[in-house]
């Protein structure tokens, strides 16, 4: 995916801001100029009135002067009308220009933020697609298959050692666990750190889904949660796959392999490192949520696994990649959104949001 040009978008936003500032400046200067013209015109009317009074007092000798005074009054009236018309029209056009620039600025901001939201969820989809591939591949490992087919101490120890080698190469995982058909953990890759051997996983969603798969191309999954039984309460995802006889895709099911993914290392890093300008960061929230509104990742750690409070959430979620300005408790807010685009055969179905309070 091609990342949006932050420099270009920042330049556009800055240009719109300068235009808006110039428009406001022109409006102020014009207002001062019209006020000045009205004052001068008022003085001209007073002079005309005084001249007509003096002409009347002078009688016949002041008649010509009276004609000039009357013409001055007529000219002053026309000038007043033109000045008022100029002020009215210019004020309306400048107001329209200001509204157009505000809309353009919001549009540029919204496109930039929704592009960032899409980039975030796309990175997550691509990364998690690899996790779904990992578990299906490792479930065919000979050491894993043999530990369930012939579960003696030596085979189980070798499987644990083999899983440890995999974990040393793939640091994104807390652990890998191997369960028998009853859901009991018989081996794991980091036994010194995570004492999960002997634990019963038969009631977990990831175990049940894996046991129910039709062949080796399918896998089980449990979303973001804190599981004391596998990773000491850390934020994790679990991908699972049935281990089948002979490592064959259509082999008899022997048990289940589960990989315990370090979710925070991926998702919290992505949302916290979203390239938001420093001057906007304090009024910006970046998060990933599921279809029910459960917050899966958030730049604010305390909000993870809470429910998203967002006006018109259903409408936002239904809009694909989008942005809109909403009012929440009288505060204007830009909501940029992108739904999971999916990668290859994998799609989380989650939503990426960037919510920013507007100050201008």
Mean pLDDT across the stretch 39-61?
Answer: 63
CATH number for the domain running over 276-357: 3.30.450.20
Looking at residue 1, what is its pLDDT? 43
Q: Indicate the domain borders of the chain.
A: 6-116, 139-266, 276-357
More confident residue, 303 or 22: 303
**H-helix or E-strand containing 33?**
helix 6-58
In whole angstroms, give the CA distance from residue 216 to residue 264: 28
Please give the order of strands across the beta sheet that includes 185-188: 185-188, 173-180, 253-262, 235-244, 220-226
- Local structure of 123: helix, strand or coil: helix
Confidence grade of residue 228 (pLDDT, cut at 50, 70, 90):
confident
Residues 99 and 95: their CA atoms lie apart, in Å, by 6
| pLDDT bracket for residue 3 (50, 70, 90) | very low
CATH level 3 topology of 6-116: Helix Hairpins (1.10.287)
Average pLDDT over residues 218-224: 96
Evaluate whether 139-266 and 276-357 have a shared fold. Answer: yes
Q: For domain 139-266, is the CATH number 3.30.450.20?
A: yes
Mean pLDDT over each residue of the chain, to the nearest integer: 85
For the cut 90, the answer to whether the pLDDT of residue 137 exceeds it is yes
């Amino acid at each position: 995916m091609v990342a949006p040009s932050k420099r270009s978008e920042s330049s556009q936003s800055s240009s719109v801001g300068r235009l808006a500032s110039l428009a406001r400046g022109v409006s102020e200067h014009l207002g001062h100029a019209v006020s000045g013209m009205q004052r001068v015109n008022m003085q001209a009317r007073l002079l005309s009135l005084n001249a007509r009074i003096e002409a009347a007092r002078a009688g016949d000798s002041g008649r010509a002067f009276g004609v000039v005074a009357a013409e001055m009054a007529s000219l002053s009236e026309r000038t007043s009308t033109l000045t008022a018309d100029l002020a009215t029209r210019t004020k309306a056009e400048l107001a329209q220009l200001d509204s157009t620039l505000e809309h353009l600025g919001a549009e540029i901001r919204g496109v930039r933020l929704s592009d960032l939201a899409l980039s975030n969820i796309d990175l997550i989809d691509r990364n998690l697609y690899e996790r779904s591939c990992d578990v299906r591949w490792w479930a065919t490992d000979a050491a894993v298959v043999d530990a369930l087919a012939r579960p003696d101490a030596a085979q189980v120890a070798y499987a644990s050692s083999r899983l440890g080698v995999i974990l040393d190469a793939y640091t994104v995982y807390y652990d890998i666990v191997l369960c028998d058909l009853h859901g009991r953990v018989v081996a794991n890759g980091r036994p010194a750190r995570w004492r999960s051997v002997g634990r019963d996983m038969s009631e977990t969603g990831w175990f049940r889904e894996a046991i129910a798969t039709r062949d080796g191309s399918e896998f089980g999954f449990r979303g973001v949660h804190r599981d004391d039984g596998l990773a000491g309460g850390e934020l994790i995802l679990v991908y699972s796959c049935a281990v089948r006889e002979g490592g064959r895709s259509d082999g008899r099911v022997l048990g289940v392999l589960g990989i315990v993914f370090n979710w925070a290392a991926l998702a919290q890093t992505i949302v916290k490192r979203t390239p938001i300008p420093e001057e906007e960061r304090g009024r910006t929230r970046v998060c990933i949520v599921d279809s029910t509104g459960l917050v899966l990742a958030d730049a604010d750690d305390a909000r993870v696994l809470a429910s998203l409070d967002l006006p018109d959430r259903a409408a936002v979620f239904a809009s694909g990649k989008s942005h809109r300005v909403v009012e929440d408790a009288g505060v204007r807010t830009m909501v940029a959104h992108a739904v999971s685009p999916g990668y290859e055969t994998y799609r989380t179905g989650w939503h990426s949001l960037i919510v920013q309070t507007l100050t201008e």
